[in-house]
Amino acid sequence: MDITLILSGLIRIYIIIVVVNVLLSWFVHTSHNMTVRRVYRTTSPLVDPVLDPIRRVISPMTKNIGFDISPIILIFLLQFISRMLG
Protein backbone atom coordinates (compact mmCIF):
# COMPACT_ATOMS: atom_id res chain seq x y z
CA MET A 1 0.00 0.00 0.00
CA ASP A 2 1.25 3.44 -0.89
CA ILE A 3 2.17 5.80 1.97
CA THR A 4 0.41 8.72 0.24
CA LEU A 5 -2.86 6.78 0.24
CA ILE A 6 -2.48 6.09 3.94
CA LEU A 7 -1.69 9.75 4.70
CA SER A 8 -4.59 10.96 2.56
CA GLY A 9 -6.92 8.58 4.38
CA LEU A 10 -5.67 9.77 7.77
CA ILE A 11 -6.17 13.38 6.71
CA ARG A 12 -9.77 12.61 5.67
CA ILE A 13 -10.42 10.95 9.03
CA TYR A 14 -8.90 13.91 10.87
CA ILE A 15 -11.10 16.34 8.89
CA ILE A 16 -14.14 14.36 10.02
CA ILE A 17 -12.93 14.57 13.63
CA VAL A 18 -12.51 18.36 13.27
CA VAL A 19 -16.04 18.73 11.83
CA VAL A 20 -17.56 16.57 14.58
CA ASN A 21 -15.71 18.59 17.23
CA VAL A 22 -16.93 21.88 15.79
CA LEU A 23 -20.54 20.70 15.55
CA LEU A 24 -20.50 19.32 19.08
CA SER A 25 -18.96 22.53 20.43
CA TRP A 26 -22.19 24.31 19.54
CA PHE A 27 -24.24 21.95 21.73
CA VAL A 28 -22.01 20.52 24.42
CA HIS A 29 -22.50 23.36 26.93
CA THR A 30 -26.30 23.17 26.81
CA SER A 31 -26.70 19.43 26.29
CA HIS A 32 -27.38 17.00 29.08
CA ASN A 33 -26.62 14.10 26.75
CA MET A 34 -23.57 12.33 28.14
CA THR A 35 -22.68 10.82 24.77
CA VAL A 36 -22.36 14.29 23.24
CA ARG A 37 -20.17 15.39 26.12
CA ARG A 38 -18.04 12.23 25.97
CA VAL A 39 -17.44 12.49 22.22
CA TYR A 40 -16.59 16.19 22.57
CA ARG A 41 -14.14 15.46 25.39
CA THR A 42 -12.56 12.77 23.21
CA THR A 43 -12.21 14.90 20.08
CA SER A 44 -11.06 18.11 21.77
CA PRO A 45 -7.58 16.84 22.77
CA LEU A 46 -7.10 15.68 19.18
CA VAL A 47 -8.21 18.95 17.59
CA ASP A 48 -7.32 21.76 20.01
CA PRO A 49 -3.51 21.38 19.88
CA VAL A 50 -3.66 21.89 16.10
CA LEU A 51 -6.26 24.67 16.22
CA ASP A 52 -4.63 26.69 19.02
CA PRO A 53 -1.65 27.95 16.95
CA ILE A 54 -4.03 28.94 14.14
CA ARG A 55 -6.25 30.74 16.65
CA ARG A 56 -3.26 32.65 18.05
CA VAL A 57 -2.25 33.84 14.59
CA ILE A 58 -5.71 34.88 13.38
CA SER A 59 -7.10 36.12 16.71
CA PRO A 60 -5.97 39.73 16.27
CA MET A 61 -7.71 39.85 12.88
CA THR A 62 -10.94 38.05 13.86
CA LYS A 63 -11.55 38.94 17.51
CA ASN A 64 -14.51 41.21 16.63
CA ILE A 65 -16.24 38.66 14.39
CA GLY A 66 -17.50 36.46 17.21
CA PHE A 67 -16.97 33.39 15.05
CA ASP A 68 -14.00 31.03 15.19
CA ILE A 69 -12.76 30.47 11.64
CA SER A 70 -9.71 28.45 12.67
CA PRO A 71 -11.39 25.08 11.88
CA ILE A 72 -12.18 26.31 8.36
CA ILE A 73 -8.56 27.34 7.85
CA LEU A 74 -7.36 24.00 9.22
CA ILE A 75 -9.65 22.05 6.89
CA PHE A 76 -8.45 24.07 3.89
CA LEU A 77 -4.83 23.43 4.88
CA LEU A 78 -5.45 19.71 5.34
CA GLN A 79 -7.22 19.47 1.98
CA PHE A 80 -4.33 21.32 0.34
CA ILE A 81 -1.83 18.90 1.88
CA SER A 82 -3.94 15.95 0.81
CA ARG A 83 -4.06 17.22 -2.78
CA MET A 84 -0.31 17.80 -2.78
CA LEU A 85 0.19 14.18 -1.77
CA GLY A 86 -1.40 13.01 -4.92
By C-alpha distance, which of 22, 1, 13, 19 is closest to 82? Answer: 13
The whole domain housing 81 covers 3-85
* pLDDT value, residue 1: 65
DSSP state of 7: H
DSSP per residue, 54-79:
HHHHHHHHHTTT-S--HHHHHHHHHH
The whole-model pTM stands at: 0.89
What number is the average pLDDT over the span 62-69?
Answer: 83
Per the structure, how many domains does the chain have? Answer: 1
Confidence of residue 62 (pLDDT cuts 50, 70, 90): confident
**pLDDT for the residue numbered 66:** 80
- The pLDDT of residue 59 is 84
For the stretch 19-48, pLDDT in tens is 999 999 999 989 899 999 999 999 999 999
